[in-house]
Every structure is written in structure tokens, then in C-alpha cells.
Structure 1
Amino acid sequence: MHGTARPALRVQALAAIDEVTARRWNALVGEDYPFLRHEFLAALEASGAVSTATGWTPRHLCLWQGEQLVGALPLYHKAHSRGEYVFDWGWADAWERAGGRYYPKALSAIPFTPAPGPRLLLDPSVDPLAARRQLAAHWEAGTLSSWHLLFAESAEVDAWLAARPTLIVRHGVQFQWRDAGFGDFDGFLAAMTSKRRKAIRRERRLVADQGLHLGRLEGEAIDAEALDHFYRCYCLTYLERGQRPYLPLAFFQRLRETMPEALLLVQVRLEGRPVAAALSLQGSRTLYGRYWGSEVMADSLHFEACYYQGIEHCLAKGLTTFDPGTQGEHKLARGFAPLRLRSLHHIADPRLRDAVARFCAEEAQHLAAYCDAAEAALPFKDAVGGAPDRTANCDSPG
């Protein structure tokens, strides 16, 4: 007797994340990556940070099998390239000077969040190759100039390339800390060269000598007053550069209401009053450092609040990875190793596609040399035994 055939996969584009329930969406989300949770994406939309008015039009793709949600992919139609952290301004400028139209484009990423992690959520019952081919056909058949997959995990990049080998690969790099069985912060320092160990201890003493005291607040311990102060500090980081912050206070308030267990706030006090703050999100294995600001100028405070406190928290809570955010060779000297990343790009017009492919191939060679030099500059005494295994998370250029 033949079993009943499963219904065919059906693709649906959502105009808002709330068109599907949090229960259904989150059933596909793992425990370690908070940025794909329904609550996080809904906070972006409900607060107005993500909308057509800000250049981020939600078009999230859902895969249905009958009445069951079996797949989901965050997707936005973008009117610009801000808030992405994989820069394609040059591609857009060249194409539009040649008479083409680069925007709007399609983007699968987490807005304003350059944190590597999953992108396509699939039920185990779904054929991943068939799902990706069906989703790709959705944007390939449209009128948009391109589709971009940013900060996806390495295995997911490989799966997309298997489904669509013509996708262009672009290489990038970030810096992450990984626990190699350090035990505590002193164990972490013991794995370093004497020079770097002394330098970090000096930085931490300097913060204390300036009368600054740091504390870590989690979840519901972060009250409204602490969050309001954090937001004032966060805004200062942008105002110092003559910019407006991407995210409004309402976004952070919504996170505090809907997913407080994912929040970690490092608060800095001087003479009993808060003067600086760093807000991170955390999953079951990983800490993600994201937002920072300070009302005072203090030597080494950024390193203490944004890096060393995070490492201590990971070691205390059993988290194995700390992703402190984008940019910065200064992270290297503090034990954060280079992590090679790949983004994927579908370019509809063959003329632009060929030019972008050549650019990415040349860029990859320079990046490979940079990563090799960064690996060699890690401050650990023993790159094999004293430091985490860095190769498991690296992608070779190709």
C-alpha cells in the first residue's frame, strides 16, 4: 500500500513577520542564535527600524507543505546598502553609472547585525536542495537586480552553492573568541605570551584606577532605568560620528519585554552613577556583543566593557564562543582569532555579474594573505594546544 503523498512545497512572501505566528516561526529556530527569533525580527519591524520608509521592506519567504510551515528565510527588499556590513556600494555606483538600476535589491540577512549564523530555517522533513532551488526561483524570476546572502554559516553557504553553483562568492573576515578549556580568565591569560598577558592586566588595572566599576546584569535584572541609560550611551556612539542611530529605544524596550533571557548588559559606574554600557545578546553556546556607548572618556574602558567582561561571562556561564561584532585588528591582540566568512550574490545581468565575479576573485587573494598574517599574529604561546582550533571555522578562498 502506498502512503499518502506529501503536499508540494509552496512559497509565500510575507509583508510583515507578524503574518506568521511566533510559535510556528520559532519552531524552526535553534537555541543558539537569537537574531532569527520571531521576537527579534518583530521588534525591528514594530519599532520602525525596519520598514519601507527606512529602506528595508520585509518580504520574508515561508515554505509551506499543506498547512505546515516547514521553512523560513528572512528577506528584505533594500533601497540602499546601509546597515549590512558587506559593502557593495561600488557595485551599485558602477552599475548605475553604466545606465543600470541596482536598487531595489533582495537581501537575506539580519538588519544591522553582522553576526554569522543560520539564515534558511528548514524542518528536517524537507529536502534542502529542493527547498533552496524553489526559493531561488522566486527572486530569479522577479525584476530585482540581485539577491545577497550575508553572514550565513559555512555549511549553509555550501548548501546554497550546491543548489545554485552560479552564485558569486565573496570572502570576508571577522574576529571571534573561542574557549579552549581555559577554565577562567586567569587560565585564558595563562595561554598567552607574557607580553600580552601583562598588557591585558595593565588595561584592566587602569580601568579600576580611574574609579570605574563594572557589573553584569542579565534578563529581568535589566530594569527600565538601566535600559534608558544604555540607550543614551548607545546614541552617543553614533552622534560622535555625526550619524543617527539605526535603532530606536522602542526596539530595545521590546526586546526587554519579549526576550529578556537573551540580554546581557554590562554597566559601568563612576561614583555610584552609570556612565557607560554595553548590551549583548546570548544563545545557548554563544555571546554576541553588539551595542556600546559611553558618557565618559576613559582609557581602556571599551576593551574592558566590550571584550574582557564578555570573555569572563562566557567562562562563567559555559558559553564556548564570543562574537564581539564587526571590524578591528585590535581584537586580535586580545585573543579573538580571525574567522573567514563567505557571502553569496546572485546578479541578474550577466555584464554586472562578470565584473563582480572578477572583483570578488581578486579580493579573495588579498584576504587570504591578510588572514594568514592575522593567524600568525595571535598572542597565544602555543597556537595548537594553548589556543582554540581556528581551522574548523575557516573557509578557504576559491
Structure 2
Amino acid sequence: MKETRVATLKPAVRVCRRVSEVGRDAWNACAGNPAYAGNPFILYDFLDALEQSNCATERTGWGPQHLTVEDIHGQVAAVMPLYVKSHSQGEYIFDHAWADAYERAGGRYYPKLLCAAPFTPATGARLLVRPDIDSEEARRFLLGGALTLCERQGASSFHVNFPTAEEWCWMGEQGLALREGQQYHWENRGYATFDDFLAALSSGRRKTIRRERRDAACGIEILCLTGADLTEDHWDAFFGFYMDTGSRKWGQPYLSRAFFSMLGERMADRVLLIMARRPDGPGGGRWIAGALNLIGDDCLYGRNWGCAEDVPFLHFELCYYRAIEWAIGQGLARVEAGAQGQHKIARGYLPRPVYSAHYIADPALRGPVERFVAQERAGVEQEMEWLSDEYSPFKQGD
């Protein structure tokens, strides 16, 4: 029988300008709810590292406005990671067209409010409730607080990016517009080894993946580093790769060198850094590429990649195949490889839905946005079905 929780919340919502104002223990009492499967991107250390390293601050257009709700004893019972945004960069849910249309019509789209894990296109809980608290009541307080703050600050809108499917449906019931997108995820079907995974693929795909892995690893040493194995030398090398990739892709990388050191200091056991090097030269070799992953209780989250040398198929090896191999070894349920990339399908990553929810304050913009996301959802669902049917690398019937 499901436990019935008694409503014990104070009818007030507090705004915190830094996650440190909430405190590590209080924040993680909510974010560490076992129902959230140890998602690393909502934990205090990740969010605080972004703020302390000046990545998510007012200056960068990510002004923290975190919401908290207290119980009748004055203890934090629920929290929401919330930011006032002066742009739409680093979100991976694209609303630039909405902003352009609204401003051409004479409106002001920024500032807006965003509930999300900054710079992170990974699904996770967004309305974070302590496990002993009634979640329905706490969610209503958090959502109501966000909408009130939106009005008081004159923000054009309030957005929730990459919530869980259950949260998404609940927010739709509260009147928010529901948007759907897609990513490519690998799912563990009970494989004991990487070869077991390959055996589930068509013959052609097995041969291709084996060839790609062989070519990528020729003359290269690949290391999977986590916990105490991570050093500042690794972060120095990886940051160089990250800056190179970021500069070529979007011009202004979001994360600072200090952030990676803080990540290594505070969350080393949640980090999997897959690094490749040439085994020659001083110090045992020259680092040439790296892929950063964060570890949840049931999922490996691929985040950033970069390289200093163009090696055929090395990107696939570090970002996809080694991630799958490591996840199988750890008994994880899936690997989420981040945004975009239909080429991932051929490597065993199939289309899966991701979600966002939106409140638009001005009815003149709200109506067009609601109609757009409804049409977009239908198109996304059809595309996912078509891609899975037409391009799945798995044997027919699997």
C-alpha cells in the first residue's frame, strides 16, 4: 500500500541568489531523493561548481534564482534550480524563433526564467522534493512560486527544460505548453559483455563496429578514469580539447577551467573521463582526445568531447563504444549521449523523447507557441518511429 504523506509545508516560497544560500545538506536532502536515480546534474556540488567557477552567474546570463519551500519545522522540503536568463544560449531547447518573433512584434522576450541544469541536455527531475514530503503539494508551491516570480520580475516566460516524463505530464495538467524533442540513447537489454551487445545487431553493423574500433585503437592507448585516478594533468589536457571543440562549434565555450577542477575535487566518483593518448613521448605519452561523462545510479551521461588530432573513428570509440562497454560493466541501464546526431543510430543509440514545458505570460505569444508545440510534438513522434523502423541497427524483431 502506498504511504500517505501529510501536508506539512509553510505556504511561502523563498528565492535564493546562490545555491550556497540553501546549503549542501538541505539541497541534497531534496535532490538526493532516491526516486531521482542519483542524477548528478541536480546535485548541490554540480550546481555550486558552476556558480563558484563563474559559469552560471548573472554576468554570463545565468542569474541564479533558486526556489525553496520549507516544512513547518523550518527545514527545506523542496527546491527548484531556477535562473533568470538574458539569452537562450546553453539550453539545448531552442526558442530563438519565439524570441525573434516576439521582439519583431514589439515585445521583450528577455529576461525569461528557466528551470534547468545549466549547459546540460540531460533528462532529470526539476521539481525536487524531499522523500518524506507530499510531492503534489510541494510541486504546486514551487510552480506557483516560479510563476509569481515571473510576474514580479516582468519576465516574458517561464521554461522547464529536460524534466522527467512524469513531471512533464503533471505540468501539462497545470496549464503549461508541452514541447517534445528527441535524443539518441543506448539501452542495456541485459548484456553481460560488449560482444553480447554486438550479437544483437545485424551482421553488417557488427562488422562495421568491429572495424571502427580496430582502426580507432591502432597505435593509441585508451584509459577510463574515475575517482582517485583523475588528476589535474588530465583536466588540463581535456580542457584544451573542450576549448578547441567549443570554439569551432559555437564560438564561446560555456565552461571554465576552474569548473573542471571543482568537478574533479567534489564529484570524482561521479565522473568518467575517457582519454586517448599516443604511447610515445615524455611522461608516458601525449594526450590526443577525451570524452567526459557523468555517472548516475542507472545511467551514464555523455557530455563533452574534444581532440587535438584527427583520428578516424576515435570519436565513436571514446564517446559511444567505450561508454557502452563501461556501462555494461557497471550494470547501468542506459547511456545518454547528449544532443543531436542521427549517426548515433548506427552505433546502437535509438531515438527517445525528451521534454520541456513552457509558460508564456503574454497571450498574444502564448497562443502561437501552444499551437506550434502541438504540431511539433506530432512531427517528432512520427520521426522517431520512422527512424527506429528504417535505421535500427538491431536484428529484425529485436
Alignment TM-score, normalising by the size of structure 2: 0.92
Residue 131 (str. 1) matches residue 143 (str. 2): no
Q: Distance in 2 between matches of 1:265 and 1:11?
A: 38
- Give % identity: 43
Counterpart of 1:8, as a letter, is: K
Flag structure 2 segments of 5+ consecutive residues without an equivalent: 1-5
Residue 22 (str. 1) matches residue 17 (str. 2): no
Q: Distance in 2 between matches of 1:225 and 1:216?
A: 15
What displacement does 1:363 show?
1.5
What displacement does 1:29 show?
2.1
Q: Distance in 1 between matches of 2:140 and 2:9?
A: 17
User: Which residue does 1:381 correspond to in 2?
Assistant: 395
What displacement does 1:153 show?
0.7
Distance 1:127 1:242, change over 3 A: closer
SS of the equivalent of 2:325 reads: helix
Query: Which segment drifts farther, 78-87 or 153-162?
Result: 153-162
Distance 1:61 1:5, change over 3 A: closer
Counterpart of 2:228, as a letter, is: E
Q: Residues 22-61 of structure 1: matches in 2 within 5 Å?
A: 22-30=24-32, 31-61=37-67
| Contact 2:9-2:69 at 8 Å conserved across structures | no
| Contact 2:217-2:314 at 8 Å conserved across structures | no
Match of 1:120 among 124, 127, 140: 127
What is the root-mean-square deviation of aligned Cα atoms in Å?
A: 1.5
What displacement does 1:337 show?
1.2
User: Which residue does 2:248 correspond to in 1?
Assistant: 240
Distance 1:331 1:347, change over 3 A: same
SS of the equivalent of 1:84 reads: coil
Q: Distance in 1 between matches of 2:337 and 2:18?
A: 29
What displacement does 1:183 show?
1.0
Query: Which segment drifts farther, 179-188 or 238-247?
Result: 238-247
Q: Distance in 1 between matches of 2:303 and 2:205?
A: 25
| Contact 1:10-1:65 at 8 Å conserved across structures | no
SS of the equivalent of 2:207 reads: helix
Q: Residues 1-398 of structure 1: matches in 2 within 5 Å?
A: 6=8, 8-30=10-32, 31-66=37-72, 67-141=74-148, 142=151, 143-162=154-173, 164=174, 166-209=175-218, 211-241=219-249, 243-270=251-278, 271=280, 272-376=285-389, 377-384=391-398
What displacement does 1:241 show?
3.5
Query: Which segment drifts farther, 357-366 or 294-303?
Result: 357-366
| Contact 1:32-1:286 at 8 Å conserved across structures | no
Alignment TM-score, normalising by the size of structure 1: 0.92
Counterpart of 1:176, as a letter, is: H
| Contact 1:83-1:112 at 8 Å conserved across structures | yes
Counterpart of 1:366, as a letter, is: G
Query: Which segment drifts farther, 267-276 or 72-81?
Result: 267-276
SS of the equivalent of 2:30 reads: coil
| Contact 1:191-1:382 at 8 Å conserved across structures | no
Flag structure 1 segments of 5+ consecutive residues without an equivalent: 385-398
SS of the equivalent of 1:182 reads: coil
Count of matched residue positions in the alignment of Structure 1 and Structure 2: 378
What does the per-residue CA deviation read over 1:343-381, in whole Å, with 9 as the maximum and x for residues that have no partner? 100011111000111111222222122111111121111
| Contact 1:104-1:144 at 8 Å conserved across structures | yes
Q: Distance in 2 between matches of 1:5 and 1:378?
A: 47
Q: Distance in 2 between matches of 1:81 and 1:246?
A: 13
Q: Distance in 1 between matches of 2:162 and 2:373?
A: 16
| Contact 2:216-2:311 at 8 Å conserved across structures | yes
What does the per-residue CA deviation read over 1:243-280, in whole Å, with 9 as the maximum and x for residues that have no partner? 12110010010011111110111110113221111111
Q: Distance in 2 between matches of 1:281 and 1:54?
A: 23
Q: Distance in 2 between matches of 1:48 and 1:198?
A: 46
What displacement does 1:215 show?
1.2
User: Which residue does 1:390 correspond to in 2?
Assistant: none
SS of the equivalent of 2:305 reads: strand
SS of the equivalent of 2:99 reads: helix
What does the per-residue CA deviation read over 1:269-325, in whole Å, with 9 as the maximum and x for residues that have no partner? 113221111111102211111011100011101000100010010011111111111
What displacement does 1:24 show?
1.2
Q: Distance in 1 between matches of 2:188 and 2:258?
A: 34
SS of the equivalent of 1:28 reads: helix
SS of the equivalent of 1:265 reads: strand
| Contact 2:49-2:259 at 8 Å conserved across structures | yes
Distance 1:242 1:139, change over 3 A: closer
Distance 1:5 1:228, change over 3 A: closer
